[in-house]
Structure 1
Amino acid sequence: MRISLNTQIFLSAVLGIALGLLFAKMGTQTNGVKQGIYLCSLLGTLFIDLLKMVLVPLVFTSIAVGVANLRQHSQLHRVWISTLGFFMLSMALAIVLALIASNWFQPGKGLSLDLFQGANQDIAAKQMSFAEFIAGFLHGLFINPFTALAQSNVLAIVMFALLLGIALVMGGDRYRNILVLLQEGLELMLRMVGWIMRLAPLGILALLAQLLASQNMAVLGSLAQFVAVVLGTTLLHGFVVLPLLLFLIAKVSPLRFFKGAREALITAFATSSSSATLPVTLRCAEQHLHVNPSIAGFVIPLGATANMDGTALYEASAALFVANLAGIELDLGQQLIVFFTTMMAAIGAPGIPSAGMVTMVMVLQSVGLPAEAVAILLPIDRLLDTFRTMVNVEGDMVGSLIVQRLVKEK
C-alpha cells in the first residue's frame, strides 16, 4: 500500500525530532554527530533552495493569473477589500492577545541583564525611525519589476503582478494571449512543485534534526517564562482564534481545515519560511481545501508577505519582555505605539527564517527601548520562529477560505 505524502511528512517530522534529540544527547562535538549535522544541513538547505527556486515565478504568475481570472472589476474590488480586511483583523487580534498575555504574566521580570553580555550583538539591521521605516516600506513597493524579479523582492513582485492582473482585467480579450501564456507558466510551476514535494519528507527530517541538535538548551531554560508565554499565545491564536474566525465567517469545520492544511503547516514548522512554504500552501488550499484557484492565487501569495499573525504576536511580546528586562514600564500610549509599529513591521518582514529579528529593532526603538536588547532573543528565536511561521501560513489559508465565502455571499 502506498503511503500518502501527508503521512510521509508526519513520520519524517517525528523521526527528525528523535534524531535531533539523539544528536544533542551524544554531543554536537562528536565526529559522527558533526558529520550527521553537516549532512542534515546540506539536505535541508537543498530542499529550501529548491522551493525558493520556483518561488518568484510562482508568485508572479499566480497573482497575475488570479487577478486576471476575476474578470469583473467589481469582483476584484470585493476580493481586495475582503483580503485586506481579514489581514488587518487577524493581525490586530494576534497583537492584542500578545499584549494582554505579556501584561498579565510579565515575562522577563527578575532575569539578570548580565545575559546581554554573552550574547551576540552583531545584528545586521538598519537603525531607523518609524517615519523612515514607513517611507522605506512604501518606496520598496514600487521598483523596477526586473530588479524585483532578479533580487527576489517578493513584496514588489506582488505589487507589479497585482497591477498587471488589473490591466489584463481592464483590457479584456485584447490581452488574451498574454493571459494564456501566464496560465501555462503557472501550470509549469505547479508541476515543478509536485516534483520538489517528493523530496519534502527527507528535507523536513533533515531540517528538524539540525534544529534540535544545535539549540542551546541552557540559554533556553533561563528564558522559559517568556518562551511559555509566546508559545502559549501563538498556539492559542493558531488553534482557537483563527479556527473560530473560520467557523463563524466561512462556516468551515476546524477539523476539516486542519486535515486539509496539515501538509503546509508541517512544512512551515520545519522550514520557518512562509515564502519557501508558499508552493505547498497553494497546493493545500486549492487541492485539499477546495479554494477557487483565482482566490487562492491572490490571497495566499499576498498573505505570505503581508499577513504575519505569528510574527506580529512575537514582536509585541518581545517588546514588552525587553521593557521588563530593562526595568521600563510602558504606559498605554507607548503600548499603542507598539501595536501599530508591530503591525507595520510584520507586514514589511520578508517571509524568511528569523526575518522578524530585523524589524524588531524598529519596534524597540519606537518606544525608546535599547536596540541592543535584541541580542537576548537570538538563542531562542530559531525555535520560536518555527511556531510563528506555522501560524503565519495558517492565517493565509484561513484568509483564503474566508475571502471566498465573503465574495460568494456578496
Structure 2
Amino acid sequence: MKASFNSLSLTSRIFIGMVAGIITGFLLQSLFDDSGDFRINLLGTDFSTYGFLVDGIFTIIGQIFIASLKMMVVPLVFVSLVCGTSSLSEPSQLGRLGSKSIALYIGTTAIAITIAITLALLVSPGQDITLPTNASYAAKEAPSLVQVIVNMVPTNPIAAMANANMLQVIVFSILFGIAMAMSGDAGKRLGAIFEDLNHIILRLVTIIMNLAPIGVFALMAKLFSSIGLDTIVSLMKYFVLVIVTLFVHALVVYPTLLKVFTGLSPLMLLRKMREAAMFAFSTSSSSATLPITMETAQHKLGIKNNVASFTIPLGATINMDGTAIMQGCATVFIAQIYGVDLSLNDYLMVIATATLASVGTAGVPSAGLVMLAMVLQQVNLPVEGIALIIGVDRLLDMTRTAVNVTGDCTVACIVANSEKQLNIDTYNNPNAGQKDEDVDFEHFKENA
C-alpha cells in the first residue's frame, strides 16, 4: 500500500490527503459531543481523545507544515529576485515588468468585483433572510496610500525580512540585484553564489512539497472538525454566490485573458495549477503558498526566473481578486440585510475603493476584512455587518486564496510572453516539472 501510494503523482497524493482530512474532520464532529467524549462506549470505557487529536496532533502537524512553508518565503523571494534582477539585460525591462504586472493585477481586481456585484444584485443573497443585526465587529484601521508607499522602502532590510514585510523585501531585493548588475566582476562572482543558493532553496521547497499530503490532511481534519454546518446553512445563499463567482473568475476570466493576450491553452495552465491551488486552499495564505507558486511558474509553466521572481511575489502581495469578489458579494448582502438601498454611484465607489485598496492594504494582517471595512465605510454601511459573514469566511478564504494564486500565474504568463521570457515548449509539455518533484529520501546522492 505504501509503495502504491508513493507511486502516485504528488497532485494525487495531496488530493487524497485533503479528502481524507475532510472526511476525518466530519467523522470527528459526528463521533464526539461538546464535552469531547466519544459517543460510543466500549466495554464501559469512555474515550475522551477529541482534544488530543484536534488540538494536539492535528494542530502540531498542521502548524509545522504552514511554518515550514512560511520559512521558505523570504529566502526564496530575496534570492530569486536578486538573481532575476541582476540578470536583466536592460534596466528599462524592470520598469516594463512592473507596469505590466501592476496594471494587470489592478485590472483583474476591478473585473472581479464588478462581476461579484453584478451577480449579487441578480441573486439578492440577503433578500428575505433574517439574521441578528446587533452583531459587533471591531474594524482595524487601514493605512493611508501615502503611508503604504513610504513604508515600501525598508529602514532596516534585516527587520523587513524578519517580519516578512514582502513589499519591503521586494524593494530591497530589486535594489540589491541592480547593484550587483552594475558591479562588474564582483557582481558576477556573487551572482554565481546566488544562482547556487536559488537552486538549493528550490530543492528545499520540493522536499517540503513531498511532505504536503500529511500537512494538508492535518489542516483539513482540524478545520472540518470544528466548522458548524448550521452556520453554513443559514448563509447558504451568500456562501454559494461567492463560490460560484470565484469559479467564474478562475475558469472564465483568467482563461479568456490568457487566450487573448498570449494565444496559449488555458486548460494547460489550469491543469498545472492544481498543486498550487490545493496548497492555497489548505493554507488560506498566498504568502505561505508562494514557494509552491514560484516552483510551478518556473518549472511547469516555463516562466523565466527574471519575470517569475518579480511578478509572482508582487502578485502574492497585491493581487486580491478573490478578496475583491468577497467584498462585492458581502457589500450587497450586508446592504440587503440592513435594508439599505445603494445607488449606482455607491456601487461604482465600491469598485474603485476595493480596487485601490488591494494595493493600499497589501501586507496588512487580515487584509481582506480590513479592505471590506473600508468599502463598507465608504458607502455608509455598518461595519458591524462583517460579523454576520465571519462564520463562513474561513471556508471562503480558502477558495479565494486558490483563485488568487491562479491569477498570479496567469498574469506572470501574460507578462513573460510579452517579454519573450516564456518557454513555450515547457508550457505545452503536460509533464514538465514532474521529475523535479520527486525526492528519494533514502538515497540523497542520487538527487544531486
TM-score norm. by structure 1 comes to 0.91
1:200 is displaced (CA, Å) by 0.5
Structure 2 regions of 5+ residues with no counterpart? 37-47, 423-448
- What is the CA-CA distance between 1:352 and the residue it aligns to? 8.9
1:127 counterpart = 2:141 = yes
Letter aligned with residue 165 of structure 2? N
**Greater CA drift, 341-350 or 192-201:** 341-350
58, 75, 83: which is aligned to 2:101? 83
1:141 aligns with 2:152: yes
Aligned-pair identity (%): 37
Greater shift after overlay, 375-384 or 362-371?
362-371
Give how far 1:248 is off: 2.1
210, 218, 227: which one aligns with 1:206: 218
Q: Deviations 1:61-88 (Å, cap 9, x if unpaired)?
A: 2222222222212332332222122212
Please identify which structure carries the higher helix content: 1
Which residue of 338, 359, 370 maps to 2:371? 359
Larger radius of gyration: 2
Aligned 1:319-398 pairs, distance under 5 A: 319-349=331-361, 354-398=366-410
Aligned to 1:15: 20
1: CA distance between counterparts of 2:289 and 2:376? 29
Q: Is the 8 A contact 1:73 1:169 kept in 2?
A: no
Distance 1:133 1:102, change over 3 A: farther
Equivalent position to 2:291, from 270, 273, 279? 279
**1:247 corresponds to:** 259
Tell which deviates more after alignment, 296-305 or 15-24.
15-24
User: In structure 2, what is the Cα distance between the partners aligned to 1:336 and 1:172?
Assistant: 51
State the match for 1:297 in structure 2.
Answer: 309
- The amino acid across from 2:16 in the alignment is L
* More off after superposition, 152-161 vs 48-57: 152-161
Given candidates 165, 168, 177, the residue that maps to 1:165 is 177
SS at match of 2:420: helix
SS for the counterpart of 1:368 is coil
Code of the residue aligned with 2:88 in structure 1: it is L
Residue 351 of structure 1 and its aligned partner are, at CA, apart by: 6.8
Structure 1's unaligned 5+ residue stretches are: none
Gap change, CA 1:315 and 1:401, over 3 Å in 2: same
TM-score, with length taken from structure 2: 0.84
Displacement of 1:243 in angstroms is 1.3
Instruction: Give 1:372 deviation, angstroms.
Output: 1.8
CA contact (8 A) 1:82 1:406 kept: no
Letter in 2 for 1:216: G
- Report how far residue 409 of structure 1 moved: 9.5
User: Aligned pair 1:61/2:89, yes or no?
Assistant: no
Amino acid at match of 2:236: A
Paired letter, 2:21: G
Residue matched to 1:227: 239
Among 3, 8, 19, the alignment partner of 1:3 is: 8
Q: 1:238 to 1:331 in 2, by over 3 A?
A: same
Asked if the contact 1:40/1:207 (under 8 Å) is kept, the reply is yes
**Partner of residue 104, structure 1:** 122
CA distance in 2, matches of 1:353, 1:273: 11
Partner of 1:70: 88
Across the aligned residues of Structure 1 and Structure 2, the Cα RMSD in angstroms comes to: 2.2
2:264 is equivalent to residue 259 of structure 1: no
Match of 2:52 among 35, 38, 57: 35
Whole-Å Cα distance in 1 between the matches of residues 61 and 284 of structure 2?
15
How far apart, CA to CA, are the structure 2 residues paired with 1:348 and 1:194? 33
Q: Is the 8 A contact 1:67 1:165 kept in 2?
A: yes
What are the superposed Cα offsets for residues 236-279 of structure 1, whole Å, 9 maximum, x if unpaired?
00111111211222222222112221111111011100100011
Choose which of 21, 28, 31 in structure 2 pairs with 1:26. 31
- Shift in CA distance, 115/34, structure 1 to aligned 2, threshold 3 Å: farther
Q: 1:63 to 1:111 in 2, by over 3 A?
A: same
Helix, strand or coil at the partner of 2:115: helix
1:272–1:353 Cα contact (<8 Å) kept: no
1:84-138 deviations in Å (ceiling 9; x for gaps): 2221221111111111112222221233341544xxx464x4335xxx5323322
Q: May I ask how many residue pairs the two structures share in their alignment?
A: 403
Measured in 1, the distance between the counterparts of 2:171 and 2:380 equals 33
Question: Which letter maps to 1:392?
Answer: N
CA distance in structure 1 between the aligned counterparts of 2:178 and 2:122, rounded to whole angstroms: 46
Structure 2 distance, partners of 1:17, 1:51, is 21
